[in-house]
Amino acid sequence: LSAPTDPKRPRPRPSASRVLHLGLPPGALASRILTVGDPARAALLASHLTPRPQDKGRLFIHSSSRGFTTYTGLFLSTPISIISFGMGSQMIDFLVRESRDVAPPGPIIIISYGSAGGLKPTVPVGTCVIISQSVNVTRNSDHWTSGKGTPYNISLPVPANPRLTSHIYSQVKQSSPCVLGESATTCSFYSSQARTDGNFDDRNTTLISQIQKKANPTSMEMESFHLLDLARSTRGQNRIASGSAVVVVANRVTGEVVEGRKLAEVEGRVGVALLRAVCGVDLGEIWEGEDLNDG
């Protein structure tokens, strides 16, 4: 590892020029990033890109040893990167911080695109939810240790960037069933999403109604909160604006599950709409009216 000698770039790197977990050198990323969990979804989206002039006729692709795959190319002449990260907030933490280190100077946008469980009977599977804000639902281990507090903590909501969100929503609704809604982001697919399992003492049988008392989520997934929370913490001219879109694959209230062919079709259509949205948004307007200097 190279020593973190530059105070503006305090993170260690595997070599002087590549960030540690994404494995990317400066210049490999665009300022517009669409991020997905599933590598196959990333490859599908990347099939709509053409190479940048500097990549000599081949799309830039890098798979890191830590499970990130990055594609950088052009969509309708605009540079964009698509990054697959696997699952969970910890991977989003690497992705956001290290992308920020190697992206071009200036504003950055990151939109995540995933699948989710549905929490409203009125929102059928196959619907795209554009996330306006998210709460974080985390297992509170102290409750098991001391018997105090509640088994799960439910945070206050963190909003997505409002301009980006309304831009994404207006693009996606042109081609797909789509609603604006809140999300509950969880630390587990199992315990904190209220899936019961007799092999584990999860104390989660009333968790969905507890979440619904404190928030008004339409969907439940595992990354949006951390993306929105980290993005709103960025400072200065290279501030990150973030948004999130999910397709409901299983409704946790009605038990409805999306059929495979329908999911593939919706995923493809929403994906193209998001590529248009990410590339069509004016980076100069995302933070309009806000003071970028005081973070």
**Footprint of ligand R1P on this chain (CB under 6 A)?**
36-38, 87, 114-115, 189, 221-223
- Of 91, 103, 108, 116, the one binding ligand URA (CB under 6 A) is 116
Count residues binding ligand URA (CB under 6 A).
10
Q: Which CB sits closer to ligand R1P, 220 or 279?
A: 220
Q: Does 250 bind ligand URA (CB under 6 A)?
A: yes
> Which among ligand URA, ligand R1P, none contacts residue 109 (Cβ within 5 to 8 A by kind)?
none
Cα 277 versus chain centre, distance: 15
For the chain, the helix, strand and coil percentages under 3-state DSSP, each to the nearest 5:
30, 30, 45
- Of 193, 204, 224, 244, the one binding ligand URA (CB under 6 A) is 193
Give the amino acid at 291.
Answer: D
Q: Which CB sits closer to ligand R1P, 36 or 164?
A: 36
- From its phi and psi, is residue 236 left (phi > 0), alpha (psi between -120 and 50) or beta? left
Report helix angle 162-172 to 260-280, nearest 10.
130
> Which among ligand R1P, ligand URA, none contacts residue 193 (Cβ within 5 to 8 A by kind)?
ligand URA
CB 11 within 8 A of CB 87: no
Cα 173 versus chain centre, distance: 19
Distance CA 75, CA 278 (A): 10
Q: Does 253 bind ligand URA (CB under 6 A)?
A: no
Q: Which CB sits closer to ligand URA, 217 or 243?
A: 217
* DSSP per-residue codes, 224-255: HHHHHHHHHT--STTPEEEEEEEEEEEETTT-
Burial zone of 293 (CB within 10 Å; 0-12 exposed, 13-18 middle, 19+ buried)? exposed
Task: Quote the least distance from Cβ 38 to ligand R1P, whole Å.
Answer: 5
Q: Choose the binding region for ligand URA from 164-172, 216-224, 229-237, 272-280 (rule: CB under 6 A).
A: 216-224
Q: Which CB sits closer to ligand R1P, 64 or 89?
A: 89
Q: Which CB sits closer to ligand R1P, 37 or 181?
A: 37
Q: Does 258 bind ligand URA (CB under 6 A)?
A: no
First-residue to last-residue Cα distance in the chain: 30
Distance CA 184, CA 190 (A): 13
Q: Which CB sits closer to ligand URA, 189 or 287?
A: 189
Q: Which CB sits closer to ligand R1P, 36 or 241?
A: 36
Find the residue with minimal CB distance to ligand URA. Answer: 117
Q: Does 227 bind ligand URA (CB under 6 A)?
A: no
Q: Which residues bind ligand URA (CB under 6 A)?
A: 115-117, 189, 193, 220-222, 249-250
